[in-house]
Homo-oligomer: A and B are copies of this chain.
Amino acid sequence: MSLKVSPLAPAAFPAMPPLAGLEVTTGACGLKYRDRTDVCVMVFDPGTTVAGVLTRSLTASAPVLWCREALSQGSARALVVNSGNANAFTGAAGTGSVERTVGAVVDLIGCAPEEVFIASTGVIGEPLPDDRLTSALADLAKLLRTDAWPEAAAAIMTTDTYPKGATRSTEINGTQVTINGIAKGSGMIAPDMATMLSFIATDAALPSAVLQSLLTQANERTFNSITVDGDTSTSDTLLLFATGKADNQAISSAEDPALTAFREALEDLLQDLAIQVVRDGEGASKFVTIDVSGAETPSAARRIGLAIGNSPLVKTAVAGEDPNWGRIVMAVGKAGERADRDRLSIQIGGIEVAKNGWVVPGYDETPVAAHMKGQDIDIAVDVGVGEGAARVWTCDLGHGYIDINADYRS
């Protein structure tokens, strides 16, 4: 199945600088797709630390279970990602597949097994032909480069219509550091957590516990604040690797003020990638930003925002360019968080539509309908009970989603 590039795609893949201590390569192993790359390998210098956030699915894939174990020791030497087959719900064979892949990497670069991270994405329930991957590893290792980020982002795609990358330059105590990241969506995108796969790397020197704290916080307001279809993958994996080559001053706590700029840059980069995932939501034709304010807490605001962003009735209204704010009211009501129906206010495209629980006097739908015809839709809701605020991103639900998902396996 060949998909047209999303109309919401960015103009170009960003220029990603090399990161000291890290090399990347990709290959076409024919795991499922023909005539395209489906494997990405990253090799990190000794001393690289790692942190991660993994799906909370109770039917998590074999690679996710492996990463959960491996993360506990905090160091990384390699990452192997394949697309086309999720190696999920493959029983003991799935575990064997992961172990053989890890073993092949250990043989090649000489590291501990738990320093090898694995991620797989694609069809569920089919055995992964890992021999095609392991037999190609030695040749792939000869092609390692520092500038293969665009190829890496392309190799991990499934129904994505464009590769997703982002880079940020920042500093820790005056030392310049770089953060690069890639991600892939684009179905089963929902919180806990929201992307299927995303891999971030930095040349900063940070202990894994600090990395983990920074990543967990940033993830909450980025990948965990987007939704495409409310479904949660068995394979969601976000990993952050730090090679330490920037040689910045040692940091021992995530609360260290020296991390302020790094923390902001990391969140900004994750938000960039998260938004790229939404903009490539299956069949998306509109990008929707939902701001919720006046909730009891920021988490309550986020849950209300996600209830709006997950509502099929709101999403089909957006697809139909219908400023149907009644459906927004409905979604607020089902979120299960406190809201004052008679103080509820709604803005669409910055235009006040409803205030204090009713449509504004003399409401003129014309400018709101004009906003709905654009590609970027802004919805703001104040639920009138507190100070909690959050921002959530989603896309519309139209015929494109049905086209893709009623025919994905064929």
Contact = CB atoms under 8 A, between A and B. Distances in A.
A330 B124 contact: yes
A130 B14 CA distance: 59
A57 B313 CA distance: 15
A231 B313 contact: yes
A59 interface: yes
Contacts of A325: 125
Contacts of A187: 313
Nearest to A340: B58
A311 interface: yes
A359 B231 CA distance: 22
Contact of A357 (B91, B229, B354): B91
Interface string A316-332: 11011010111101111
B229 A330 contact: no
A356 B91 contact: yes
A36 interface: no
A116 interface: no
Contact of A88 (B188, B234, B329, B406): B329
Contact of A316 (B88, B230, B330, B406): B406
Nearest to A338: B58
Given A232-B334, A329-B125, A405 B316 contact: yes
Question: For this complex, into which size category does the number of interface residues on chain A fall?
Answer: 35 or more
Nearest to A122: B326
Contact of A322 (B190, B332, B358, B409): B409
A241 to B, nearest CB: 26
A193 to B, nearest CB: 12
Given A89-B354, A341-B89, A402 B398 contact: yes
Given A341-B58, A358-B89, A405 B317 contact: yes
A344 interface: yes
Nearest to A326: B124
Interface in A18-65: 55, 57-60
B402 A397 contact: yes
A86 B326 CA distance: 10
A329 B89 contact: yes
Interface in A391-409: 397-399, 401-402, 405-409
Nearest to A322: B409
Nearest to A397: B402
Nearest to A327: B124
A90 interface: yes
A272 to B, nearest CB: 26
Contacts of A125: 325-326, 329, 354, 358-359
A86 B92 CA distance: 54
B331 A231 contact: yes
Nearest to A60: B333
A54 to B, nearest CB: 12
A303 B322 CA distance: 32
Interface in A195-237: 229-234
A282 B401 CA distance: 17
A293 to B, nearest CB: 16
A342 interface: yes
B232 A188 contact: no
A140 interface: no
Given A91-B357, A332-B59, A123 B326 contact: yes
B232 A333 contact: yes
A336 interface: yes
7 contacts: A58-B333, A59-B330, A187-B313, A230-B230, A316-B401, A320-B406, A398-B406
